[in-house]
Amino acid sequence: MNLRTTVSYQVYLTFILILSGNFITTNAAPMIQLEGKILSLSRDTINVNDMFFKIIPTVKIFAVDGSSSNLSSVRVGNYARIEIQKYNGKLYVDSLYLMTKPTANE
């Protein structure tokens, strides 16, 4: 391998890394948080305060005590705080924290 090939490879790699960084920055939106009552729940969607969101397969769920939990422990009627990411124009639940009661007025 000669120097020209090595320099070309480094320039190409740098370009790809910069391009991928711009893609992530422009498509990722700031996180949104919402608290409320879970009105309906399925394997891939959740309704909190009459707002529907998709649930990603890697959703992080936390019990009231802060320990890690799973989707089967979440019930309709529970209170929760959800953290939402917007990606390609759609809203996805990234994290769900179960609560004993709402912290704000509904």
Query: And the tokens for 36?
Result: 């409320």
**Residues 32-99, CATH architecture:** Beta Barrel (2.40)
Q: Determine if the pTM surpasses 0.85.
A: no
pLDDT tens across the length of the chain (106 residues) = 554 555 555 655 555 555 444 444 444 555 788 899 999 999 899 999 999 999 988 899 999 999 999 999 999 999 999 999 887 888 899 999 999 887 765 4
Query: And the tokens for 14?
Result: 């740098």
Domain boundaries, the chain: 1-29, 32-99
- Answer for the pair 28, 35: CB distance below 8 angstroms, yes or no: no
Q: CB within 8 A of 60, min separation 6: which ones?
A: 68, 94, 95, 96
